[in-house]
Amino acid sequence: MVFDLDMIKSVYAAFPKRIAAARKAVGKPLTLTEKILYAHLSKGEASKAYDRGGSYVDFKPDRVAMQDATAQMALLQFMQAGRSQVAVPSTVHCDHLIQAEIGANKDLARAKDKNREVYDFLSSVSNKYGLGFWKPGAGIIHQVVLENYAFPGGMMIGTDSHTPNAGGLGMVAIGVGGADACDVMAGLPWELKFPKLIGVKLTGKLSGWTAAKDVILKVAGILTVKGGTGCIVEYFGEGARSLSATGKGTICNMGAEIGATTSIFGYDEKSEAYLRGTDRSEIADLANGIKEHLTGDGEVYASPEDYFDEIIEINLSELEPHINGPFTPDLAWPISKFAAAVKENNWPQKLEVGLIGSCTNSSYEDISRAASLAAQAVDKKLNAKSEFTITPGSEQVRFTVERDGFLGIFENMGGVVLANACGPCIGQWARHGAEKQEKNSIITSFNRNFAKRADGNPNTHSFVASPEIVTAMAIAGDLTFNPLTDTLTNEEGKQVKLEEPAGMELPTKGFAVEDAGYQAPAEDGSSVEVKVAPDSERLQLLEPFLPWEGTDLKGLKLLIKAKGKCTTDHISMAGPWLRYRGHLDNISNNLLIGAVNYYTEETNKVKNQLDGSYGEVPAVQRQYKLHNIGSVVVGDENYGEGSSREHAAMEPRFLGVRAILVKSFARIHETNLKKQGMLALTFDNPADYDLVQEDDSIDIVGLDHFSPGQSLTVVLNHRDGSKDEIKVNHTYNEGQIKWFQAGSALNLVKENAI
């Protein structure tokens, strides 16, 4: 048993009383989201919390989960916090640093050798401070969490933007930066602006080719990549109850792609079945004892328009399979219209690779349904026209689907089974030929498809679909193929049609595994030594950031004015840069190298105001730092969209950027900037973005009376001697202003620990 039964018993024991108190405080029936949030309030201020989207509220999460790429920096910060043990159950999962190239066994062996220093660090620091450690090969964090730690009514934070996957089991699970995780592990409350609520009512029932993935693909098309910002999405209705727990997890996982704080489903028979199927009957029994509290009140679902800020309704019986993309996960195409879109937009029709799995779609149900199509291909004498890869989500899933013959079926079709890790989904894919930068198409069952994300090639047109559709398209090798209506020519020259996929939510013989890959921490870690070599290229102990000088910031240089989409992948790329996630100085050499310079339309080329030359973004910023000159980054809408990686906030802070000024922020990134002592500012008038000139010297005025709700002034001093004064806004509360003044949130944590 790796889950924390005593902790869950404690949460459930307090749940009814807390819900009753919250219902009395707000005077209304409660949604499921509100019940869980109110049950985890740090100070019990339910009436204050009901001010949706207005007030920052302190919460006490039940647990913390971290993946290896972000855990390095989070634990390096925690080591400075002055605690001997983590205050809440916490785990580390080694899934991001395994590069896919040849196949599971060889790729995993190579990763263990290549990343030994990092794995040893994470293992030892987990052992010392009381964290559970999941070894490389154990699986992808979100699948492992769903199988072992997620529980209805709980609250978890995780250092990965797809942490909401656990919402499939009725948990409020939210992606955060490492500094937030550090605070919670240090015993401090976790702060969140109380979210608005979007209700998605699902009616009908899925059938045929349509899968749970198509629900979120449809929702992404409705809400776009920022339509869920500041909101929690709650799914309900008869259609919601008909979905498997892992299907619900898929939907919640990809809710990150609409900017949602998290997504959630209520506890029901499918949840209970999954808990029992994954050897957690004790939790199912406990949940059954308070099941009326693990879903929204009846009045809420009877009149949802009175309790949610926005309502979306989807009839699953009428929902078509969708394919989203390219280059953004919210460009949604019903499959009946996709072929025409391919031709009209001149996207590469030939499909080079189909990839299934990842944290989004790697459940037993996903694998079994895709395998049913692979088996048909073999039986109908169809040769897969595209390359095809399979990424199991966990060692438990991999072992079970191998036992049940599914992996063999894929291999018979020509598929390659990759390691139980993120792999191509996050750019950890040594794709041969990608360096040629040729225009091509791939299709995945992953969650993100930003340009260059999978293979580093900006000309790779990446599309997102369900594992079933991906498998069918890989068999056809043609993006204009519609498996619902079209036939294929087999090796005998006959026209054959793929039948609807079929699978099972849970294995009939139960899950099985020989070694799940879990390492429990030492009972007493006081004698465990955590080693970080002074000359390491991978790991570097942190130095505190300097506190605010106490004055307005003047004479700042414009580092870059980013044009258009600027995700965390643009700010701090993944792929080969994952090597340096524990070394702040080295990874800072990727700062904003993917952002498009507004003035030159190029990436990684900005003007150095010291000598008028053009250079790479990190090199120019290092020159400013050498001369003790601060700088400003200017950006467009939804700046920092995507991954939770706090490196995108720590790198500019480390190199001397003082402020990020944009039209709007993605939630996690804005919080990460605040945690690191940065100024995260937004244009009061978005059109003022156009006033910023390439040679500007910038002043930020009003910091001597920096206070919640009060705007600041930015002065743009132009090269010709003219200037523009513009009003800028912020969302800092009093506590967050103290982070800025202290130099970082961690500086305050250390002060309180002394």
CA dihedral for 122, 123, 128, 133, sign (positive or negative): positive
Output the CA torsion sign for 354, 564, 157, 536.
Answer: positive
- Whose tokens are 């939907």? That residue is 251
| Cβ–Cβ < 8 Å for 754, 85 | no
Whether 643 is a known active-site residue: answer yes
* Helix count and strand count (H, E) for the chain: 26, 30
Extract the tokens encoding 684.
């009061």
95 is catalytic: yes
DSSP per-residue string spanning 581-643: TB-HHHHGGGBTTTSBBTTTS-BS-EE-TTTS-EE-HHHHHHHHHHTT--EEEEE-TTBT-S-
Residue from 18, 40, 63, 96 carrying the catalytic annotation? 96
The β-bridge partners of 132 are 91
Which residues are CB-contacts of 537 (< 8 A; sequence separation ≥ 6)? 579, 580, 583, 586
Active-site pick, 95, 180, 366, 688: 95
The question of whether 372 is a catalytic residue gets the answer no
Give Cβ neighbours of residue 141 (< 8 Å, ≥ 6 apart). Answer: 65, 66, 67, 93, 95, 134, 158, 160, 359
Which residue of the set 570, 645, 647, 653 is catalytic? 645
Residue 80: CB atoms within 10 Å: 18
* Ordered strands of the 416-417 beta sheet: 332-334, 322-324, 460-464, 440-444, 351-357, 387-391, 416-417
Distance linking the first and last C-alpha atoms of the chain: 36
Which long-range CB contacts under 8 A does 683-687 form with residues at least 24 apart?
683/726, 683/728, 683/729, 684/711, 684/726, 684/727, 684/728, 684/729, 685/726, 685/727, 686/637
Q: Which residues contact 346 (CB under 8 A, 6 or more apart)?
A: none
| CA–CA separation, 64 and 90 (whole Å) | 5
Catalytic annotation, pick one of 160, 183, 366, 404 = 160
Residue 84 burial (CB < 10 Å; 0-12/13-18/19+)? exposed
Tokens encoding 82? 């002055």
- Measured CA to CA in angstroms, residue 754 lies from 179, 180, 326, 424, 677 at distances of 18, 20, 51, 44, 20
Q: Which residues contact 546 (CB under 8 A, 6 or more apart)?
A: 743
- Is 695 an active-site residue? no
Residue with tokens 């995108």: 648
Task: Read off the tokens for 235.
Answer: 């799914």
Using an 8 Å Cβ cutoff, are 665 and 707 in contact? Answer: no
Q: Which of 40, 280, 448, 538 is catalytic?
A: 448
The whole-angstrom separation of Cα 341 and Cα 339 is 5
Please give the single-letter amino acid code of residue 61. Answer: P
Q: Where are the alpha helices (DSSP H) in 79-224?
A: 104-114, 116-129, 141-148, 178-185, 212-223
Residues 6+ apart with CB under 8 A from 667: 229, 230, 259, 261
Q: DSSP secondary structure string, 471-531?
A: HHHHHHTBTT--TTT--EE-TTS-EE-PPPP---SS-TT----S---EEPPPS--TTPPP-
Residue closest to 119 by CA, chosen among 475, 406, 538: 538
Instruction: Based on the residue annotation, tell me whether 645 is a catalytic residue of this protein.
Output: yes
In terms of C-beta density within 10 A (0-12 exposed, 13-18 middle, 19 or more buried), how is residue 644 classed?
buried
Name the catalytic one among 126, 462, 643, 744: 643
- The residue length of the chain stands at 754
Q: Are 646 and 619 spatial neighbours (Cβ–Cβ below 8 Å)? A: no
Annotated active-site positions, please? Answer: 95-96, 160, 448, 643, 645
